[in-house]
Amino acid sequence: MTETDAGIARATGLFASLRNFAATLTAVAQTRLELLANEVEEEKLRFGQLLLFGSIALFCLAVGSVFFAIFVTVLLWESHRLLVLGGLAVLFFSLGGVAVAMFRARASVGSRLFSASLAELGKDRQQLSP
C-alpha cells in the first residue's frame, strides 16, 4: 500500500465517520423534535379539556346559583325578601372573588410544557460534555 492509498483510505474512513456522525445527529434531532411535537399535542388536548370542563362547570354553577337565589327569595318573600337578596349577593360576590384569586394563582404557576424535552436535552448535554 502506498502513501496515496493510505491517504485515500483514511479520507474515506474520515468521511464515513463524519457521515455516520451527521446521521446520528440528525436522528437525535428528529427524535427530540418528535418529542416536542408530542408534548405540544398533549398540552393542547389538556388545555382543551380544561376549557371544556371549566365552561360546563361554570355554566352549571351559574344556573344553579340563580335558581337557588330565586328559590330562597320566593321562600322568604313575605318576611325577609331584601335581607335574603343582599345576603345572597354578598355570598356570590365572595365566591367570585375567591374564584378570581384561585385563577390568578393558577395562571402565575409556570407551565410544564416542554419539561420532558428540556430534561432530555439536559441529559444529552451532560453526556456530550467531556
Q: Report the alpha-carbon distance of residue 53 to residue 62 in Å, rounded.
A: 14
pLDDT score at 109: 72
- Identify the weakest region by mean pLDDT among 4-18, 49-63, 102-116: 4-18
pLDDT score at 36: 84
Task: Answer yes or no: are the C-beta atoms of 35 and 116 closer than 8 Å.
Answer: yes
Tell me which amino acid residue 118 is: L
pLDDT score at 9: 56
Average pLDDT of every residue of the chain: 79
Q: Report the alpha-carbon distance of residue 69 to residue 87 in Å, rounded.
A: 10
Selected residue with higher pLDDT from 128 and 19: 19
- Residue 25: its H or E element: helix 3-75
Q: Report the alpha-carbon distance of residue 43 to residue 8 in Å, rounded.
A: 52
Whether the predicted model's global pTM rises above the 0.75 cut: no
Where do runs of H (alpha helix) occur along 76-111?
81-108
The pLDDT confidence band at residue 130, using thresholds 50, 70 and 90, is low
